[in-house]
Amino acid sequence: MSLLPELYEAVVIGDDDLAAELTGECIEAGLAPQTIIDDALIPAMAEAGRRFETDEYFVPDLIMSGRAIKAGLALLSPLLGAGSSSHAGSVVIATVQGDLHDIGKNLVAVMLEGAGFEVVDLGTDVAPEEMVAAIREHRPQLVGLSALLTTTMLSMPATIEAIEAAGLRDQVKVLIGGPPLNEERAREFGADAYADNANAAVRAAFELVGVK
Ligand code: B12
């Protein structure tokens, strides 16, 4: 088997040690980090999700696949960042309150860093007031919000309202993402933009901060 299908399989079965080892081998073999992410890690997580939806997998299986994808990403993140000396702007990113999913958000954070943004990652289950405090502390141009659940996506308008109430809304642009979101919901929630994947997130971020 060639390396990418082996890595795909390691993530699907949730073997984090093997995923790290194979990611290392992919890097040594000269595969581009983006290819490793797009052709092995993301499709593997999608397959784990498909198995969850068809009751072949349960929450512990998803947690293991999640750990395996993170083990691979940990090795790839520094390489994605390499070579970007420019400072495109700063971003505070978070998964919103009530939501513990962070794989997609981490991927977006890694790609933004790779594109030259300074990224402050607040993690998961971030309350609106934590985001407000982080904006006061870090003074970013951009806020990124992630939600994976139809219930927790409602923490997005709550967060944007809290930013507004704190008098900070005109100082930041808000970019949102996650499977339950779309352009229409972004408008409805008062965000400035929506992006459906990490590459689109980088393009949207550049546009929002006015970098061509
Ligand atoms: C992995 C996973 C988990 C893991 C999370 C591990 C982790 N550390 O993240 C665990 C096991 C913990 C988990 C728990 C739960 N999960 Co879950 N999970 C998933 C799963 C399989 C994959 C999500 C994922 O990581 N995808 C891969 C990443 C790369 O994709 P992504 O997140 O979409 O991110 C991309 C884009 O959306 C976008 N993006 C994401 N964030 C952002 C942010 C910005 C700013 C931008 C611009 C873009 C952007 O760019 C990313 C990269 O391309 C999905 C199903 C699926 N196929 O999506 C279910 C899913 C999201 N989970 C679901 C459910 C129901 C749950 C639980 C309630 C299960 C339970 N009964 O306990 C809990 C909730 C816990 C909580 N409070 O959050 C449902 C949600 C249903 C819904 N519509 O509300 C899903 C859809 C599965 C299903 N079909 O039932 N889950």
Q: Which amino acid is at 43?
A: P
pLDDT of residue 199: 84
Residues with CB under 6 A from ligand 1: 42, 45-46, 48-49, 52-53, 59, 62-63, 66, 98-105, 107-108, 144-146, 148-150, 175-180, 195-198, 201
Which of 39, 54, 142, 148 to mutate for ligand 1's pocket (most ligand atoms within 8 Å of CB)? 148
Question: Rounded to an integer, what distance in angstroms lies between the CA atom of residue 22 and that of residue 7?
Answer: 6
The structural domains of the chain, with segments of one domain joined by +, span 3-81, 89-209
Which residue is it, tokens 């999608």? 46
Instruction: Give domain 89-209's CATH number out of 2.60.34.10, 3.40.630.10, 3.40.720.10, 3.40.50.280.
Output: 3.40.50.280
Please give the Cα distance from 63 to 6 (Å, whole number).
19
Q: Decide if pLDDT at 137 tops 90.
A: yes
Angstrom distance (rounded) from CA 33 to CA 79: 7
Asked whether the predicted pLDDT for residue 135 surpasses 90, the reply is: yes
The answer to whether 70 touches 23, Cβ cutoff 8 Å, is no
pLDDT band at 211 (very low <50, low <70, confident <90, very high): confident
Name the closest-CA residue to atom 25, ligand 1.
Answer: 103
pLDDT at position 77 over 90: no
pLDDT band of residue 173 (cuts 50, 70, 90) is very high
Q: Using alpha carbons, list the distances in angstroms from residue 48 to 34, 79, 102, 200.
A: 20, 26, 15, 23
Backbone angles phi, psi at 60, to 5 degrees: -60, -35
- The mean per-residue pLDDT over the stretch 88-110 comes to 93
- Confidence band of 88 (pLDDT split at 50, 70, 90): confident
Query: Which of 9-13, 76-80, 177-181 bottoms out in mean pLDDT, i.e. has the lowest?
Result: 76-80
Within 10 angstroms of residue 170's Cβ, the number of other Cβ atoms is 8
Q: Tell me the mean pLDDT in the region 121-134.
A: 98
pLDDT for 101 equals 96
What is 3-81's CATH topology?
1.10.1240
